[in-house]
Every structure is written in structure tokens, then in C-alpha cells.
Amino acid sequence: MQVISLLSLIEAGEESEVRDYLSSFSCSLNSGVENFLKNQPIENEKRGMTRTFIIIDEENNNDIIGYFTLMNKQFEFAEGVSKSVRQKIAFNKHALSVSTILIAQLGRADQYKGIIPGSEILRLALENCKIVYRTIGMRIVCVEYEPIDKIEKFYLNNSFKFLQKNPNGLRLAFLRLS
């Protein structure tokens, strides 16, 4: 298992070959995760909006095991977020917003369900977040997700803490890197 940046694939090869490679990814449980990898990451990479990382199976024809996408995103605190939580996250109890590393996408291919746990893909994403933290000092990692119990349990069981419901209807959870 190896993590490679999509940007390095784009720089090393033909864009059409990269698109063909990404189109091999299948995630029937979440069409949004599948569609993102097939249709959006190359343009987002070129514009510098996100960085996507592909997890490959070196022993199985470099099949895509999963992927994650990171970006910098600022979130405004909802009214109900306490001063103590604002202090913990933004280091200012009067903060109105916080800049974060957002794990914007996280997905595993259907063929690796039961073989590679989602927590392993999340761990690899968090390793990259730690590199960002050590490089530029951004300590808070967030995830936005649909209000689905299984998804919420996944993040809460992996050390994230629920923060708020966002105006877009998605839930926001955070993890503070140390």
C-alpha cells in the first residue's frame, strides 16, 4: 500500500491516462465519493483548491484502494458553540471563525471493503494533515458529513469531536493535532 499525490500523477503523465486510471475507482455506497474522484480532482489540483492523494495496491496492478482530498477551509462558528470550545479550537474565546485543514473527501474502493478498514484510510489522511501542521502550523482538522449515524460514529470513534451543524445541513466535527 502506497500513498501518491494526484499532482505527481498529473505532472508525470498524460491527463487522459490519469482520468482513465481514476475512472477505475468504484464506491457504490457513496456515489458522491466516486463521482468526485472521477470528475473533479484534476481541475481542483490545477487551480490549487485541493490536494488529492491516491492509496494504491502495489501488489495488485496499482489498483486504487481509496483516496482522500485535503483543503484549507475557514468555518464560522455557529451561535451555540461555547467560548471554551472556541478557545480550544481557535485559541480565542471570542473567535467568530477558525481556519482548518478539511478532509474534503475520504473513500475506499468497493473491492477493498473488509480488507482495508476505513480507519486506515483516515489514518493516512491524518498523517498528511500532520505534515501540513508541521509545515505551516494549522492544527485543527475538520470533516463535514451527512447526518447519517454510521458516518458520525465512524468519525467519533476515530477521535473526532462533534462541533456543530453547518448552515448547509452537514455536520462538522474536528480533531486537534498535537
Helix/strand/coil for 163: strand
Average pLDDT of the chain?
95
Low-confidence ranges of the chain (pLDDT < 70): none
Three cell numbers at 38? 472521477
- Give the pairing of strands 51-57 and 63-76: antiparallel
Q: Can you give the CATH number for the domain in which 98 is found? A: 3.40.630.30
pLDDT at 171: 97
pLDDT at 154: 96
Helix/strand/coil for 111: helix
Number of domains in the chain: 1
Alpha-helical segments (H) within the chain: 6-12, 15-22, 31-39, 41-47, 83-90, 118-136, 149-156
Bridge partners, residue 175, by sequence? 141
Three cell numbers at 142? 475538520
Interval 50-92: pLDDT, tens: 999 999 999 988 999 999 999 999 999 999 999 999 999 999 9
pLDDT at 178: 84
pLDDT at 31: 87
**Residue 111 contacts by C-beta under 8 Å, 6 or more apart in sequence?**
26, 63
pLDDT at 29: 84
Structural domain that includes position 81: 2-176
pLDDT at 76: 95
For residue 168, give Cα distances in angstroms to 8, 64, 83: 33, 30, 23
pLDDT at 163: 96
pLDDT at 139: 93
Within 10 angstroms of residue 108's Cβ, the number of other Cβ atoms is: 25
